[in-house]
């Protein structure tokens, strides 16, 4: 037996959100059962620091070392011990990974109807989230997708290990770990404390977990870890799990609504020989079997229109879209969209369709009509406002651009409004003036009547050909969809495309490509047609009340990464990655480069995203540091400014800190940007606040 050193210091470290204990080299482990016992007690001690009632304590082996001072508990060691447990299970004749379960009930069904299940046998299955032993009794909690229920075990009632039936007996339950997937069969009871439980008679291991879960009580705090390992976040926290379940119900409600209106759903190609239906930089691929390059879809519009030519009147797809452009709080290179085409109707039909669809989704998938979107209470039960772009600008500014005859007069009006960016036409001046209106469009609003200069694919209004049959959806100050009566004149459309086309910039995404196959289809005749295309993720952000698109995408796109621990375990090298285009500067360097004319905005609309981190420096005191992400300076990437410091002060709420920190950063930076680049519009997002111990 190894010698024990009572005075050796213990060293703690964290890896991947899990706290580990390192022991001195003198402590040696000699048997599998000793290793299991040591790991179990160390894990139990670490996990119960915050919640003693849910300790992971398993029955001990006969030859266990009973009073170790410290324990080896690195991630690699835990993994090796759990692999050893899987081997021990196989030695007992038990398969650690059987192919099926005999589950008869979800946990929620039992908890919601205890009288109907009281004393009756059930079989539940799920992940083991807690475990504790008290003499001849043991308690645990098993979690499935509907919730958690307690397992109550009496040693004399639990069936002994039986390899033929896959049953794990009480005496071998030291081979269990938190995170294992188990199946328990027994009668539904209430304990003396009144907790609904399953009095277990047989227990089966369905999946042996090789890795320990992060601490359940603090959860995943690292934002990048949450995005990379969303499955862990959902195991530990039911709130995001319900959010993603709600998004699934939302998509089902969209389908139900459109099917009920007589629409037919079609699958359209994701890999396309010619991208089209929009202007966006595409992803390019190569099809070996055909020996040619193709593109991932930036839109499915032109295929839906081919279906209209074929004779279908109402068609839609809920497809995947790929645009090789920027990533920010509201944009993602891969996303979903519900896209429809309706024959023999114009854009006014779609105004009614989109309003009815949002209202149906709100009630059918979420059971309510009011939602908190970007700090505003949005009510989908009320009729949506419909206003022309010209009227909306007139209401806000007093200027009626419909009465302006010359470009010089239009630009003079823009200058009077503080917009120092001359436009090439009266219509484009109207659009520029409309930008000051957008933030005020809080309740759902349909803005129609766009200038023809910016809408080459939409049909002109019969009563005023300066404007087109087009409308945009605005909710909480953000644009949520763009729709119009489709251009079905093949000669006009081909001429428009050819005027804009430049062969040298074919895949730049700056203009519509020349899709001659689609033009041929139009030449056979497409009836008057109109379509809508709201983004699924944008709708999900609204209905789940999220402000960041990554929070409604289960698998957001991220640069590949492998941790040093995993690289060691799997025997691989960390992949070499292309350098990112993002740029980080100090505030001083940024201002100097801008003043010297070296650094200039890439876009006319700059979006500032302040981030404030608060550090507790003393009881009741905090010190803040901050940085700002700026979108619009670098094409397809983000500029980060670091070096903002906030003085020590009393600890405030996150909302107060957001106002204080964001306001401090905003005050100087926005002033500098307005002075240096007066032609740019600057929008400031709410500050993100993080707290550190």
Give percent above pLDDT 70 in the chain.
81
Class of domain 583-692: mainly beta
Q: What is the pLDDT of residue 150?
A: 97
Q: Give the H or E element holding residue 668.
A: helix 654-676
| Chain-centre distance for alpha carbon 680 | 30
Q: What is the pLDDT of residue 656?
A: 54
Q: Which of helix, strand or coil describes residue 321? A: strand
Q: What is the pLDDT of residue 509?
A: 63
Intrachain domains 107-207 and 241-384+443-551 with the same fold: no
Please tell me what DSSP assigns to residue 331. B
Mean pLDDT of 296-305: 93
Mean pLDDT of 114-139: 94
The answer to whether residue 338 scores a pLDDT higher than 80 is: yes
Query: Using an 8 Å Cβ cutoff, are 308 and 526 in contact?
Result: yes
Query: Using an 8 Å Cβ cutoff, are 444 and 387 in contact?
Result: no
Q: Token pair for residue 405?
A: 């005859």
Distance from C-alpha of 379 to C-alpha of 476, rounded to nearest angstrom: 11
Q: What is the pLDDT of residue 649?
A: 55
Domain segments of the chain: what residues?
Answer: 11-91, 107-207, 241-384+443-551, 583-692
Q: Which of helix, strand or coil describes residue 406? A: coil
The answer to whether residue 646 scores a pLDDT higher than 70 is: no
The answer to whether residue 5 scores a pLDDT higher than 50 is: no
Domain 241-384+443-551 has CATH 3.30.930.10: yes
pLDDT digit string (tens) for 536-575?
A: 999 999 999 999 999 999 999 988 888 888 888 888 876 6
pLDDT digit string (tens) for 220-271?
A: 888 888 999 999 999 999 999 999 999 999 999 999 999 999 999 999 999 9
Q: Give the H or E element holding residue 177.
A: none
| Chain-centre distance for alpha carbon 580 | 22
Question: What mean pLDDT value characterizes the chain?
Answer: 83
Q: What is the pLDDT of residue 386?
A: 97
At the fourth CATH level, the homologous superfamily of domain 107-207 is Nucleic acid-binding proteins (2.40.50.140)
Q: What is the pLDDT of residue 617?
A: 60
The answer to whether residue 25 scores a pLDDT higher than 80 is: no
Q: What is the pTM of this model?
A: 0.74
pLDDT digit string (tens) for 166-189?
A: 999 999 999 999 999 999 999 999
The answer to whether residue 11 scores a pLDDT higher than 70 is: no
Q: Strands, DSSP E only, in 519-591?
A: 529-531, 583-586
Q: Residue 70: which pLDDT band, with cuts at 50, 70 and 90?
A: very low
Q: Residue 53: which pLDDT band, with cuts at 50, 70 and 90?
A: very low
Mean pLDDT of 509-519: 78
Counting DSSP H helices and E strands in the chain, the numbers are 18, 26
Could you tell me which residue, 276 or 672, shows the higher pLDDT? 672
């Amino acid at each position: 037996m190894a010698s024990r050193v009572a005075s050796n210091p213990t060293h703690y470290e964290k890896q991947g959100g899990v706290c580990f204990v390192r022991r001195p080299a003198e402590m040696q482990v000699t048997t599998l059962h000793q290793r299991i016992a040591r790991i179990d007690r160390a894990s139990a001690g670490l996990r119960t620091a915050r919640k003693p009632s849910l300790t992971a304590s398993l029955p001990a082996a006969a030859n266990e070392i009973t009073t170790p001072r410290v324990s080896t508990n690195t991630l690699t060691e835990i993994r090796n011990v759990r692999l050893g447990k899987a081997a021990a299970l196989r030695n007992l004749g038990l398969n650690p990974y059987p192919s099926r379960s005999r589950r008869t009930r979800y946990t929620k069904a039992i908890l919601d109807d205890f009288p109907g299940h009281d004393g009756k046998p059930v079989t539940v299955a799920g992940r083991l989230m807690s475990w504790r032993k008290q003499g001849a009794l043991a308690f645990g909690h098993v979690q499935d997708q509907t919730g958690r229920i307690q397992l109550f075990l009496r040693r004399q009632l639990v069936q002994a290990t039986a390899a033929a039936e896959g049953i794990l007996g009480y005496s071998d339950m030291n081979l269990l770990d938190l995170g294992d997937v188990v199946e328990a069969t027994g009668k539904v009871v209430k304990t003396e404390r009144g907790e609904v439980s399953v009095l277990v008679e047989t227990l089966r291991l369905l999946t042996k977990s090789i890795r320990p879960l992060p601490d359940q009580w603090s959860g995943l705090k690292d934002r990048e870890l949450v995005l990379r390992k969303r499955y862990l976040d959902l195991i530990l926290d039911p709130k995001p799990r319900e959010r993603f379940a709600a998004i699934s119900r939302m998509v089902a409600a969209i389908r139900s609504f459109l099917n009920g209106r007589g629409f037919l759903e079609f699958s359209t190609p994701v890999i396309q020989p010619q991208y089209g239906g929009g202007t966006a930089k595409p992803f390019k691929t190569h099809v070996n079997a055909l020996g040619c390059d193709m593109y991932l879809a930036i839109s499915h519009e032109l295929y839906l229109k081919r279906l209209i030519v074929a004779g279908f009147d109402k068609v839609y797809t809920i497809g995947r879209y790929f645009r090789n452009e920027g990533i920010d709080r509201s944009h993602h290179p891969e996303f979903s969209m519900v896209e429809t085409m309706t024959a023999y109707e114009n854009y006014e039909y779609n105004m009614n369709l989109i309003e009815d669809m949002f209202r149906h989704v709100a009630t059918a998938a979420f059971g309510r009509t009011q939602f908190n979107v970007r700090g505003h209470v949005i009510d989908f039960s009320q009729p949506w406002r419909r206003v022309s772009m010209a009227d909306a600008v007139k209401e806000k500014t007093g200027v009626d651009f419909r009465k302006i005859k010359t470009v010089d007069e239009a630009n003079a009006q823009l200058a009077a409004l503080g917009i120092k960016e001359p436009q090439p036409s009266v219509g484009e001046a109207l659009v520029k003036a409309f930008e000051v209106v957008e933030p005020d469009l809080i309740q759902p609003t349909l803005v129609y009547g766009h200038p023809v200069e910016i809408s080459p694919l939409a049909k002109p209004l019969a009563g005023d050909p300066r404007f087109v049959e087009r409308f945009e959806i605005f909710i909480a100050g953000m644009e949520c969809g763009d729709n119009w009566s489709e251009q079905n004149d093949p000669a006009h459309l081909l001429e428009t495309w050819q005027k804009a086309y430049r062969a040298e910039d074919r895949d730049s995404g700056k203009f519509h490509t020349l899709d001659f196959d689609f033009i041929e289809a139009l030449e056979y005749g497409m009836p008057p047609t109109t379509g809508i295309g709201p983004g699924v993720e944008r709708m999900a952000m609204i209905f789940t009340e999220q402000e960041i698109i990554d929070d409604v995408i289960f698998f957001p796109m991220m640069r590949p990464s492998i941790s040093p621990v995993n690289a060691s375990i799997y025997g691989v090298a960390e992949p070499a990655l292309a350098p990112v285009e993002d740029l980080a500067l100090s505030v001083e360097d940024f201002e100097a480069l801008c003043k010297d004319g070296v650094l200039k905005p890439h876009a006319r609309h700059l979006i500032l995203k302040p981030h404030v981190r608060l550090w507790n420096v003393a009881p009741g005191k905090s010190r803040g540091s901050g940085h700002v992400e700026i979108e619009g300076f670098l094409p397809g990437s983000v500029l980060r400014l670091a070096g903002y410091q906030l003085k020590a002060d009393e600890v405030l709420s996150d909302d107060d800190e957001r106002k204080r920190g964001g306001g401090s950063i905003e005050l100087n930076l926005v002033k500098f940007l307005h002075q240096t680049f007066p032609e740019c519009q600057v929008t400031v997002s709410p500050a993100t606040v993080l707290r550190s111990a």
